[in-house]
């Protein structure tokens, strides 16, 4: 039986039109794939760039330059983190500002001691960090190196001190004015001990009246030091010091308005002595309160017209202030009001020299001399240093957010 032979299936050959359509579809698919891949790559780059801009690049920005040493944001943030523990978040701005100054100070110290030939080795730093229990990071290594540098300078000064220095025994008291100083000197001349007068007249009871064998170099006021170097024992002088800080001051108050609830709108000036207060009040007969206050007042709480915000019955400026202010008739200037709660600048030192001679340097005096020598050395190095701060308020806030996160 003969087999049937089937004809081979016919192949469908696309027409030119179909071929063109297929090729177009292929090109479209390739374009879609390429575009999709490119889009995903661009997204990845954008995300990466965003992360870099938000987190990496800021950390590499220089925020402080001290001579040849630059400090980057990452260093600053780490130091800020170490200081932020236990700190109220509202105080972090103040801490952030202080850290910038601390960075510059420590850098000047490290660089200055190297210039002096003082070598703080990595082993010294590592040992100090172990003793203090500090983590191993550049921030803490720098801090340890600065502390060791200060200690080394301190020891060098102590070793160079002679066993004896010219020193003075004297009595000293800060009073508020020349007239008080004259009264104190008259009382001492009449045999009243200066120590007895301190309770009544001293404007800074934290300063001991009796000073026993103090090196003249340690006296902060140059005029007081000069007096102790030149007076004969038993002589007493008064010395003006416009920058001496004292407890107490005198208000001149005026109430310019009152409301129905008893609140007052006061203006005020604060004077450093009763003499100044009376002199200022006398000028108010012919001069405006704001003009006199702008010239004489040590009170920083008022506006350009020496006016305060409204003060209610439940508000307290100070006890002395409130007691007088709420009792004043409107547009009447008070008599001088003494207030022990405030601090003012300016006064007179009353100095009574008891003796001056070469005397053995005590351990306390030696430490004081070493600290003074370091402060003088640091001031000279700071003055010669190139320090440039680049930290902006926005960068500071950015750093704080990361430090407290």
Q: How far apart are CA 32 and CA 353, in angstroms?
A: 98
Q: 82 pLDDT band (50/70/90 cuts)? A: confident
Residue pair 145/120 in contact by the 8 Å Cβ criterion: yes
Residue pair 175/201 in contact by the 8 Å Cβ criterion: yes
Residues in CB range of 329: below 8 A, 6 or more apart: 255
Phi-psi region of 303 (alpha: psi -120 to 50; beta: other; left: phi over 0): beta
pLDDT at 89: 83
**Token pair 């709660």 is at which residue?**
341
In the predicted structure, residue 51 carries a pLDDT above the cut 90:
no
| 177-216 pLDDT, tens digit each | 999 999 999 999 999 999 999 999 999 999 999 999 999 9
- For the record, the structure tokens of 221 come out as 């006021």
Coil, strand, or helix at residue 296? helix
User: Which is more confident, 5 or 320?
Assistant: 320
Domain range list for the chain: 62-161+380-404, 165-245+346-360, 250-333
In the predicted structure, residue 107 carries a pLDDT above the cut 80:
yes
- For the record, the structure tokens of 14 come out as 């696309």
Q: How far apart are CA 266 and CA 306, in angstroms?
A: 9
- For the record, the structure tokens of 174 come out as 């800060």
Coil, strand, or helix at residue 175? strand
Q: Closest Cα partner for 113 from 84, 171, 81, 156?
A: 156
| 260-311 pLDDT, tens digit each | 899 999 999 999 999 999 999 999 999 999 999 999 999 998 898 999 999 9
End-to-end CA distance of the chain: 95
| 119-132 pLDDT, tens digit each | 999 999 999 999 99
pLDDT at 84: 80
Q: What is the average pLDDT value for the chain, to the nearest integer? A: 88
pTM for this model (two decimals): 0.73
- Main-chain dihedrals φ then ψ at residue 344, nearest 5 degrees: -135, 165
Number of helices (H), then strands (E), belonging to the chain: the values are 14, 8
In the predicted structure, residue 2 carries a pLDDT above the cut 60:
no
Residues in CB range of 143: below 8 A, 6 or more apart: 106, 134
- For the record, the structure tokens of 188 come out as 């001492």
Identify the CATH number of the domain defined by range 250-333: 3.10.50
Identify the CATH number of the domain defined by range 165-245+346-360: 3.10.50.40
Count the alpha carbons within 13 Å of 18 in the hemisphere toward its beta carbon.
4
Residues in CB range of 167: below 8 A, 6 or more apart: 213, 214, 215, 216, 356, 357, 358, 359, 361, 365
Instruction: Tell me the CA distances in angstroms from 394 to 79, 88, 98, 165, 401, one per residue in order.
Output: 18, 20, 17, 53, 11
Mean pLDDT of 365-379: 94
Coil, strand, or helix at residue 66? strand
Q: How far apart are CA 68 and CA 24, in angstroms?
A: 64
Mean pLDDT of 48-56: 44
Coil, strand, or helix at residue 360? strand
In the predicted structure, residue 12 carries a pLDDT above the cut 90:
no
Residues in CB range of 88: below 8 A, 6 or more apart: none
- Main-chain dihedrals φ then ψ at residue 173, nearest 5 degrees: -150, 140
Residue pair 240/348 in contact by the 8 Å Cβ criterion: yes
pLDDT at 52: 38
């Amino acid at each position: 039986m003969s087999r049937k032979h089937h004809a081979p299936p016919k192949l469908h050959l696309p027409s030119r039109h179909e071929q063109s359509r297929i090729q177009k579809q292929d090109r479209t698919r390739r374009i879609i794939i390429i575009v999709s891949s490119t889009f995903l790559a661009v997204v990845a780059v954008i995300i990466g760039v965003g992360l870099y801009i938000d987190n990496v690049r800021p950390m590499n920005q220089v925020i402080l330059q001290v001579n040849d040493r630059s400090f980057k944001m990452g260093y600053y943030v780490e130091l800020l983190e170490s200081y932020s523990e236990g700190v109220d978040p509202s105080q972090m701005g103040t801490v952030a500002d202080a850290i910038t100054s601390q960075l510059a100070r420590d850098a000047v110290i490290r660089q200055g001691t190297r210039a002096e030939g003082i070598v703080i080795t990595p082993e010294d730093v590592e040992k100090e960090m172990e003793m203090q229990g500090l983590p191993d990071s550049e921030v803490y290594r720098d801090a340890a190196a600065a502390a060791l540098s200060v200690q080394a300078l301190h020891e060098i000064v102590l070793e160079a001190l002679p066993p004896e220095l010219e020193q003075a025994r004297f009595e000293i008291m800060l009073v508020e004015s020349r007239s008080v100083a004259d009264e104190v000197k008259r009382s001492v001349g009449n045999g009243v001990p200066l120590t007895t007068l301190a309770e009544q007249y001293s404007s800074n009871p934290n300063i001991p009246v009796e000073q026993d064998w103090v090196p003249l170099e340690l006296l902060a006021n140059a005029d007081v030091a000069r007096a102790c170097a030149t007076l004969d024992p038993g002589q007493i002088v008064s010395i003006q010091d416009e920058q001496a800080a004292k407890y107490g001051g005198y208000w001149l108050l005026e109430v310019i308005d009152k409301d129905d609830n008893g609140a007052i709108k006061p203006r005020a000036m604060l004077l450093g002595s009763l003499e100044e207060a009376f002199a200022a009040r006398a000028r108010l007969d012919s001069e405006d309160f704001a003009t006199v206050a702008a010239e004489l007042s040590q009170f920083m709480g008022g506006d350009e017209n020496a006016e305060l915000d409204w003060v209610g019955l439940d508000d307290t400026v100070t006890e002395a202030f409130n007691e007088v202010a709420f009792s004043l008739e409107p547009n009447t200037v008070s008599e001088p009001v003494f207030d022990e709660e405030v601090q003012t600048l300016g006064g007179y030192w009353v100095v009574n020299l008891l003796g001056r001679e070469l005397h053995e340097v005590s351990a306390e005096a030696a430490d004081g001399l070493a600290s003074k020598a370091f402060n003088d050395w640091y001031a000279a190095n700071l003055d010669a240093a190139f320090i440039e701060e680049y930290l902006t308020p926005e960068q500071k806030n950015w750093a704080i957010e990361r430090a407290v996160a």
